[in-house]
A and B are shown apart, each in its own frame.
Chain A
Amino acid sequence: MNLANVLRQTAHRFPTATAVIGPDQSVSYAELDAMADAAATALAALGVRRGDRVGIWSHKSARTVAAMQAVLRIGAAYVPCDPLSPPLRVRGMLEDCRVKALVAPEACGKELLTGELSLIGLLPIEAISPEMRTAAPPRETVGIRASAEPSAADDLAYILYTSGSTGRPKGVCISHRNALAFIEWAVTDVNASSSDRFANHAPFHFDLSVFDLYVAFSAGAAVAIVPEDTAYQPRRLVEFIERHRVSVWYSVPSALTLMMRQGELLHADVGSLRTVVFAGEPFPIKHLRELRRHWPHVRMHNYYGPTETNVCTAYEVGSIPVDQAHPVPIGKAASGDRVRAVLPDGSEARPDELGELLVSGPTVMLGYWGHPPQGDRPYATGDLVKRDRDGNYVYCGRRDHMVKVRGHRVELGDVEATLTSHARLRDVAVVVDGEGIEARLVAFIVCDGEPPSLLELKRHCAEHLPRYMIVDRVERLRELPRTRNGKVDRLSLSQILTSQQRA
């Protein structure tokens, strides 16, 4: 049970079939396989061994995919870092999980790997090709590379960092077993075949990309990579789907809504599309209803699950009644997992009671890097759910301060920690104004003297946070409202925003 074998096996069966259509180049399965092997030799020469971590900090491309596969072939784990993240944040992740090597553009890598990171080996992404030669690899690397089954099912395959409430990202550790349980389920769920054409909209540090790459590889289909700067350009996205004759599309609902509202998606020539899957946030029902109405023959699936479990429940969308006001359910257990809803005291919630969703099964992560292992403990999602009459779970909100902004998971505490570090701010609370595609981050600040401008605060955020976490608006207060137990009264802050809108 080894994630590295997914590509290897398909390269044997369909060597000449197109594997990846990247912004840089298109490669066949045989070429991708060769690139992965060559890059693995180079990584081994840098000292990477089974169990090590390797950072991947690069824009999406066929080479980036090859680099990820190369790491798996050594029995190491890859750590995809957001190419749009500032260097400071990437350093934090590389230091946190103590990577042995980094794959990145040469210039970016050299600039980053200084000081405490200067001993980390750099494999320039530009160097990756099927014919690349590694200068005289030490004798012992040859044996490392050639071992056929280097990883055990519960070994670490990759780490995905997500926003943490204290300002430090948390590394979600995913094993080969975790990944394969989801992938094998998904291949059957969407009935993937070698004649499909997948798109990859999500960045590689988002687990939606696991579906795009590995379901395509499992089936021997091609996957067309959406370049980062096209990902939220509505007209270019629609053209992308048309041009590449995409048959299976997977993304956050925001991307679909954007294409519908500003990209003329519903008037486009997308007869190739047979299946649409969405995940990551609720899909506003009025938009989904329109999509359903326009495309009666396209199968639509709602996948649900935090990064810590990948997809743990799923629901196939049928017809949507004209008067339905709530989003479609998140459905029933998927990927071989078991789910249940519990009350705060731990007892099982009745169907009509609000309970927190707990997940057990093969896709539950190994744990967060540097924290105690998850073990057999069910994963508590922090999501509140009820069940409908058909036994489908329905999403009813969060238990805490995690929000979704621009399709991304954001811990408000993460943004607050960064803003609080600004010299001129005494106190900060961040809330979300609006939902779905209109969600915006609003910071309430307390400062003495002249408040910093919005531009200045954006500059400060950009230095520490990925772009989607940069604050959108700032309101100044004399003091932050607090509840009786001293916590920031976020309800009060939200009400300030609501009353502003009414004014």
Chain B
Amino acid sequence: MNTTEFANQLKAFIVQELLDGKEAGIDGSTPLLKWGVIDSLSLVKVLSFIDERFGIDVPPAEVDAANFENLTAIARLLTRLSAPPTKTSSFVRHGDEAQVDDAAGAERRR
């Protein structure tokens, strides 16, 4: 599933379950947390939906204001979480790729 598809399905869920069914005015950059569309309690419903609909169990460390700021941010998070592991990332934690490259570069420079 691509990012756009994640965003569309999330939007439909939010409009139906957290708002009054009226779709107008909500797009990828609508501030969901800032406008109280998602609060700490309805967040649980969103996480349940994500688990049931997409089979993605969002780790607690990823549940933060940046990742849930708007539909685009959530969709990007889900795209990242559902990406199959690459050969390097199975040995290296996300974010450590730079160090592996640097080490290789240092090796070459020596």
Docked Cα-Cα span, A194 to B16, in Å, equals 52
Whether the pair A454, B22 counts as a contact (CB closer than 8 A) is yes
Count A-side interface residues using an 8 Å CB cutoff: 26
A154 at the interface (CB under 8 A from B): no
Q: Is the CB of B36 within 8 A of A458?
A: yes
- Give Cα A484–Cα B70 distance, bound, in whole angstroms: 46
The dominant DSSP class at the A interface is: helix
Q: Restricting to B4-42, which residues have a CB under 8 Å from any CB of A?
A: 19-20, 22, 24-26, 30-31, 33-37, 39-41
With A437-B41, A453-B25, A455-B25 as known contacts, state yes or no: A233 contacts B63, CB within 8 Å. Answer: yes
Give the complex CA separation of A391 and B5 in angstroms.
62
How many Cβ-Cβ contacts under 8 Å join chain A to chain B?
Answer: 61
Partner of B64, one of A229, A239, A458, A470: A229
Q: How far is the CB of A312 from the nearest CB of chain B, in Å?
A: 29
**Is the Cβ of B24 less than 8 Å from the Cβ of A453?**
yes
B81 at the interface (CB under 8 A from A): no
Within the assembled complex, what's the spacing in Å between the Cα atoms of A467 and B33?
8
Q: Does B105 contact A (CB under 8 A)?
A: no
Contact present for A455 and B22 (CB under 8 Å): yes
| Alpha-carbon distance A474/B22, docked complex (angstroms) | 12
A308 to chain B, nearest CB (A): 27
In the bound assembly, the distance between CA atoms of A360 and B34 in angstroms comes to 40
A233 to B63, CA, bound (A): 8
User: Which of under 10, 10 to 19, 20 to 34, or 35 or more describes the interface residues of B?
Assistant: 20 to 34
Given contacts A229-B64, A229-B65, contact A461 B19 (CB under 8 A): no
Closest CB-CB distance, A233 to chain B, in whole Å? 6
- The answer to the question of A459 belonging to the interface, with a C-beta cut-off of 8 Å to chain B, is yes
Q: Is the CB of B40 within 8 A of A455?
A: no
- Interface set, chain B 23-69, CB cutoff 8 A to A: 24-26, 30-31, 33-37, 39-41, 44, 60-61, 63-65
Least Cβ–Cβ distance between B31 and chain A, in angstroms: 8
Q: Given contacts A453-B19, A453-B22, is CB(A458)–CB(B37) below 8 Å?
A: yes
| A456 beta carbon closer than 8 Å to chain B | yes
Min CB–CB distance B84 → chain A (angstroms):
26
The smallest C-beta distance from B59 to any residue of chain A, in angstroms, reads: 9
Q: In the assembled complex, which residues on chain A have CB atoms less than 8 Å from the CB atom of B61? A: 236
Contact yes or no, A474 B20, CB < 8 A: yes
Contact string against B for A residues 462-498, beta-carbon threshold 8 Å, 1 for contact and 0 otherwise: 1000011011111000000000000000000000000
Given contacts A453-B24, A456-B25, contact A233 B34 (CB under 8 A): no
Q: A116 to nearest B CB, angstroms?
A: 25
Q: Report if A461-B36 is in contact (Cβ < 8 Å); known contacts: A233-B60, A233-B63, A235-B60.
A: yes
Q: Which residues of B contact A454 (CB under 8 A)?
A: 19-20, 22
Closest chain B residue to A459, Cβ basis: B35
| Chain B binding surface, main DSSP class | loop
B30 to A455, Cβ gap below 8 A?
A: yes
- Identify which of A239, A258, A467 contacts B34 (C-beta below 8 A): A467
A428 CA to B24 CA in the complex, in Å? 22
Whole-angstrom CA separation of A258 from B40 in the bound complex: 10
Interface contact A233-B22, CB-CB below 8 Å: no
Q: How far is the CB of A290 from chain B (nearest CB, A)?
A: 19
Q: Which residue of A lies closest to B19 (CB)?
A: A454
Task: Give chain A interface residues in 416-449, CB to chain B under 8 Å.
Answer: 437
Contact partners of B60 in chain A: CB under 8 A? 233, 235-236, 239
| Cβ–Cβ contact A262 & B36, under 8 A | no
**Contact assessment for B35 and A455 in the assembled complex, using a CB-CB cutoff below 8 Å:** yes
Kindly name the residue among A453, A462, A470, A471 whose own CB sees the greatest number of chain B CB atoms within 10 A: A453
Q: Bound state CA distance, A239 and B33, in angstroms?
A: 23
B residues in contact with A455, CB < 8 Å: 19, 22, 24-26, 30, 35, 37
Query: Is A232 an interface residue, CB under 8 A from the partner?
Result: yes
- Collect the chain A residues with CB atoms within 8 Å of residue B41's CB: 232, 258, 406, 437
CB-CB nearest in chain B for A461? B36
Check A406–B34 contact: CB distance below 8 A.
no
Of all A-B residue pairs in the complex, the 10 with the closest CB atoms, nearest first, are A232-B40, A470-B36, A453-B22, A454-B20, A235-B60, A458-B35, A462-B35, A229-B65, A454-B19, A455-B25
List the interface of chain B (C-beta within 8 A of A): 19-20, 22, 24-26, 30-31, 33-37, 39-41, 44, 60-61, 63-65
Known: A458-B36, A472-B36. 15 other contacts (CB 8 A): A229-B65, A231-B40, A232-B40, A232-B41, A235-B60, A239-B60, A258-B40, A453-B22, A453-B25, A455-B24, A455-B30, A459-B25, A467-B33, A473-B20, A474-B20
Q: List 12 A-B contacts (CB under 8 A).
A: A229-B64, A233-B40, A239-B60, A455-B19, A455-B24, A455-B25, A455-B26, A455-B30, A458-B35, A459-B25, A467-B34, A470-B36
